[in-house]
Chain A
Amino acid sequence: MTEANIVLEAKNITKQFPGVLANDRVNFDLRKGEIHALLGENGAGKSTLMNLIYGLHLPDKGEIFVNGKPIEIKSPNDSIAAGIGMVHQHFMLIPVFTVAENVMLGDEVTKRGSLDRATVAAKINEISKQYGLDVDPNALVGDLPVGLQQRVEIVKTLYRNAEIVILDEPTAVLTPQEAEDLFRIMHDLTARGVSIIFITHKLKEVLAVADRITVMRAGHVVNTVPPSETNEAQLANMMVGRQVILTVEKKDHQASGDILKVENLFVRDQRGLETIHNVSFTVRGGEILGIAGVQGNGQTELSEAITGLRAVQSGKVLIDEQDLTDKSPRFMTAAGLAHIPEDRQRHGLVLSYSVADNMALCDYYRPPFSNRGVIQQKALDENARNLISAFDVRTPSPFVNAGKLSGGNQQKVIVARELSRENVKLVIANQPTRGLDVGSIEYIHSEIIKMRDRGVAVLLISAELDEIMALSDRIVVMYRGQIVATVETKQATREQLGLWMAGAHVETA
């Protein structure tokens, strides 16, 4: 490879945020027509580097070259002008607009003062044909499945003549089959000279599609390797900085009687649309039931309805034979529910409260934490000290605000609070390890399995198929608010689960 092939180069990039050196003398280059994967845990500095290249932040030190020329990128406008496009993890699309309207947004083409949809649509069709994207310019974005919405984002970058496309965690919202489609599109793009930076933390994908892999850890580039010279274990090792066990160790489970029974449940979302249709399942004591499914297929509403955060339209929720349908979260907790919520910062914690206060968030009103309506600070602090050491929470003291802890330690605060309650019969863990570092994931997985081995029923909801397969004893698959399949984990395959997640069962039925 010669220098001329390098389309993008970042040299000696340093970026300091308050308290964190997010990028420390980082070097990164991208060759024409290659897929260069950027691998690292949350907080490793991948996003910072990409935000610097895309112009969302300015580097403290270092230079960025495009096609060998140094350029200064002060805002996304500069990077778009330089031919850089980015597809964010959370799509920047307006659901009530058509594909064409979304694509031209910010760069509207007008004819006599009104939007010239026809010209834009023609150009989209051209791009779509050229790269095999198969996008209808006149469809409403809100009607499209997630995989297609992502293609609209890609079209948006190509429409703006991007020659360098950054894909930020593009497979997080896709089924395995949709991910395969995306990889095909990525290869089509590179075959026509587009260069791709592929950000991810999934090792299998990286090995499957990348031409080169750069691993980052704690603001540094650890190494850049071709996939042929490495393997999953080595990459994980580079990401984490130590040996990692990639599989979860667990014994065979000993299931007892039914603990959670959900019967014919119907639930509506906040817009009043029915998002859960007639869902029934049971979770037995000593068993982990995994709910697999692509994000946004009703998992959030289901867990909220079971835990008392959302009104049930009809149907029943029973815990240990006790009818708890539509009871308040307080009532559920008293009945033996431990809930690790999907969004830890929104539901699970009050970030400006101390660790100690957060560890008593659900029990502050009971002795020993409260005596006739007066908070017993000593009991709170003692409880926090015990839990911090028992659950290995890394915090300078119990008085530090929860918001100052890392994501992994924030999640440990929640896990400690929920799993330490003495009456727990049922654990509902929704995305318990999303966005966490490998060490915290290992720890939280082992705590969940410990609960199962103690005879507690566990309902695990996760969009990570690997997590579901590693932890669950049984798996149900949700698609558009319904359970489309139930299977013993031992008899399940990734491929079959992926098909169900994409709604295959519904189509054949």
Chain B
Amino acid sequence: MQSEKQSNSLTRQVIQSISDASLVPFLAILTAVVVGGVIIAFVGGDPLLAYRGLIQGSFGSTKALSETAVWATPYIFAGLAVALAFKGGLFNIGAEGQLAVGAVASSLIGYALPEWLGYDLPAIIHLPLAIIFGILMGGLWAGIVGWLKAYTGGHEVINTIMMNYIALNTTSFLLNGVMKDRSPTNVIARTPLIADSARIPPLFEGLRVHWGFILALLVAFLIWWLLNKTTLGFQIRTVGLNPDAAKYAGINVKRIIILTMVLSGMLAGMAGTIEVTGLNYRHELGFSIGYGYDAIAIALLGKSHPLGVVLSAFLFAAMRNGATRMQFLTQMPVDLISMLQAFILLFVAADAIVRYIYRIKSKGERVVLTRGWGG
């Protein structure tokens, strides 16, 4: 009896904590939708029609659902990358660059490895190689920033931004140079197509959604498990919440900072890799503009919880995907979606506004996303 009662109250506690955590994001979305609707009406559109278009375009058909999942796949990986770093007290703005590095690395393996070896590889070897190489490069790219933070105190925000420039310009250099698609008709900065053996098969015939989407959901679960059930996760969270206490508790804080950045970069690298191996079958300059930055919004909206990240990745994917249909129905520009996303983010980040509008009392605990300069 006693233990049953206890587990009952524990379940209630869990439900309570989930609804507490999701209340503000939910209300932020609601408020953003209302504000967005007012703006649509203000510029002479029909808000209800616009939102209907958005929903139809993102969930209205099998194809629409498939495309939403296609959008959601890199969003989930990149969102998890930023969320994991947040958990470790680090602000990884560099998902964009890590993603590009991962995409370049795995497309290289994808098209060039058979040429170098002089024979074709079976998919069971070639595909994992392409994916793993992309992940490792993403991890390495972010790991440099982690190392700088741990051993020189260089702030990760500055360094990830700088590493983004290096990554994106190096990518441009490679895609316009040695890695450029040499087919006579091509004028774009892009790599050749990767071999069939390095491609992730689609989930269903005729739809673009691929096994990478399932992988994203699995990885989200894995990250949740890692953070909450393992000693490594305990160390990452402790360093994130209170690095002084972590040091006192015997945790090697420098090592954990580097490791957190490496893991975060690996997840971001995976976002790039999966886009290459599962969707585009090549890396093209500019394919991912904004994934790495949207990922920050997704992680914030998802409160850095893996499940929250998956849900907000879906929301962002649906908005991006449904935007075209919305534009078709109402002649509202697609940019409206960016505005809507910005409003959501604004209300999540400045949650005091939402708390004020809906008269929610603060629980008195603030989520520390990142520490200040010198912290």
Which A residues are within 8 Å of any B CB, using their own CB? 18, 307, 309, 328-333, 339, 341, 346-353, 357, 361-362, 364-365, 370, 373-375, 377, 399, 401, 403
Contacts and interface: CB of A to CB of B under 8 A. Distances in A.
B250 A362 contact: yes
B359 interface: no
B6 to A, nearest CB: 9
Contact of A375 (B231, B244, B251): B231
Given A333-B250, A349-B245, A403-B365, 7 more contacts: A18-B361, A328-B252, A329-B249, A329-B250, A352-B365, A374-B230, A375-B233
A277 to B, nearest CB: 25
B182 interface: no
A329 B241 CA distance: 19
A333 B249 CA distance: 9
Interface in B216-248: 229-234, 238, 241-242, 244-245, 247-248
B150 to A, nearest CB: 15
B10 A347 contact: no
B122 interface: no
A364 B230 CA distance: 10
Contacts of A339: 248
Contacts of A347: 244-245, 247-248
Contacts of B10: 399
B245 A348 contact: yes
B250 A330 contact: yes
A325 B323 CA distance: 63
Contacts of A18: 361, 364
B170 interface: no
A468 B374 CA distance: 36
A352 B229 CA distance: 17
Interface centre among B229, B249, B364 (most CB of A within 10 A): B249
B169 interface: no
A340 B312 CA distance: 42
Contacts of A375: 229-231, 233-234
A370 B230 CA distance: 8
Nearest to B6: A397
13 contacts: A307-B248, A329-B248, A333-B250, A339-B248, A346-B244, A349-B245, A350-B242, A357-B234, A361-B238, A362-B248, A364-B234, A365-B231, A370-B231
A374 B145 CA distance: 28
Contacts of B249: 329, 361-362, 364
A219 B10 CA distance: 33
B250 A328 contact: yes
Interface string B356-375: 00000100110000000000
Contact of A309 (B234, B248, B252): B248
A211 to B, nearest CB: 39
A403 B231 CA distance: 22
Contacts of B233: 375
B245 A399 contact: no
A307 B231 CA distance: 23
Contacts of B247: 309, 329, 347
Contacts of A362: 248-250
B250 to A, nearest CB: 3
Contacts of A399: 10, 13
Nearest to B368: A352
Contacts of A332: 250
Contacts of B242: 346, 349-351
Contacts of A341: 248
Contact of B232 (A331, A361, A373, A401): A373
B227 to A, nearest CB: 11
Contacts of B250: 328-333, 362
Nearest to B232: A373
B154 to A, nearest CB: 18
A411 B315 CA distance: 44
A346 B229 CA distance: 24
Nearest to A403: B365
Contacts of B241: 350-353
Contacts of B13: 399
A357 B249 CA distance: 12
Contacts of B238: 350, 353, 361
B361 A374 contact: no
Contact of A373 (B230, B251, B361, B364): B230
A165 to B, nearest CB: 32
Contacts of B252: 328, 330
Contacts of B365: 352, 401, 403
Nearest to B366: A352
A374 B227 CA distance: 10
Contact of B245 (A330, A346, A377, A401): A346
Contacts of A373: 230-232
Nearest to A333: B250
A331 B250 CA distance: 8
Nearest to A332: B250
Contacts of B230: 373-375
B232 to A, nearest CB: 7
B229 A361 contact: no
A364 B245 contact: no
B9 to A, nearest CB: 8
B142 to A, nearest CB: 22
B248 A364 contact: no
A328 B252 CA distance: 8
Interface string B241-284: 11011011111100000000000000000000000000000000
Interface centre among A332, A370, A373 (most CB of B within 10 A): A373
Interface in B1-39: 10, 13
